[in-house]
Amino acid sequence: MRTNVLGVEFDDFTIDTAALFAYEKIQNGEKTYAVTPNPEIVWLSRKNEPLRNALNNAGLVLADGIGIVIGAKILGTPLTGGRVPGIDFIAVLLDKLASSGGSVFLLGAKPGVAQIAGEKLIDKHKGLIIAGTADGYFTDSNALVDKINSANPDLLLVCLGAPKQELWMSENLLRLNVPLCAGLGGSLDVFAGNVKRAPVFFQRLGLEWLYRIVKEPKRLKRSLSLPLFVFRVILQRIFGK
């Protein structure tokens, strides 16, 4: 059973159990996609029905954001698995793929970033195969789908940012010959070394969002959705809707 937080249904997994679940989907050849909503994305989905549907139709919905975990607890339906950062979930999944000689296609970021990310992922996950790459500046989804299908990957990382990546996966899933797609925001820049994650101290406290604001003050406006999100969750707890 999933946990509803402001209209988005979350799976209650740990990082390891989420990766195992996803790996089994790949091994069984099941076609689905994974999403990793944070409070900002959930807040956006309240007035964006296509996005909300894309999130809830995913085969795996992970709580990427401490605000989601707090929100679920306030609502009396705690996510016992805790926060599941998408980038950590994928790291464990790539280890499993690498152990069996699996492959991944990297989609997103600026031209050249995916190739560099792929090289570094191969170094980190010995045995992993990079089936192909494509930047996020495509204009023809049909041609892109054909390219991905020709590469025949086990996993497709869709790093286009929200809500574009969620909508793209939902719209193109049936045409993709890929067992599992996963939306992963700006992770390719992290994999490529262009962007550094928050120090472990911030990660453990669930404060990566605060670190990003300090490093990139322009994110402050976007982060204003967090207190609104928490306030709305409290209202839902009190009034039940």
Q: How confident is the model at residue 138 (pLDDT cuts 50, 70, 90)?
A: very high
Q: How far is CA 191 from CA 117, 149, 197, in A?
A: 5, 23, 10
Helix (H, G, I), strand (E, B) or coil at 103: strand
- Would you state the pLDDT for residue 152? 98
Q: Summarize pLDDT for 199-238 with one digit per residue, the tens.
A: 776 677 666 766 666 666 666 566 677 788 989 999 989 9
pTM here is 0.92
Q: Summarize pLDDT for 154-182 with one digit per residue, the tens.
A: 999 999 999 999 999 999 999 999 999 99
Q: How confident is the model at residue 82 (pLDDT cuts 50, 70, 90)?
A: very high
What is the residue type of 165? Answer: Q
Higher confidence at residue 82 or residue 202? 82
Closest CA to 159 of 138, 182, 131: 182
Asked whether residue 21 carries a pLDDT value surpassing 70, the answer given is yes
Residue range 40-57: average pLDDT? 96
Determine the distance from the C-alpha atom of residue 13 to the mean position of all C-alpha atoms in its chain, rounded to a whole number: 14
- Would you state the pLDDT for residue 38? 94
Residue range 89-113: average pLDDT? 98
Residue range 65-84: average pLDDT? 95
- Mean pLDDT, the chain, whole residue set: 92
Whole-angstrom distance, CA of residue 49 vs CA of residue 148: 28
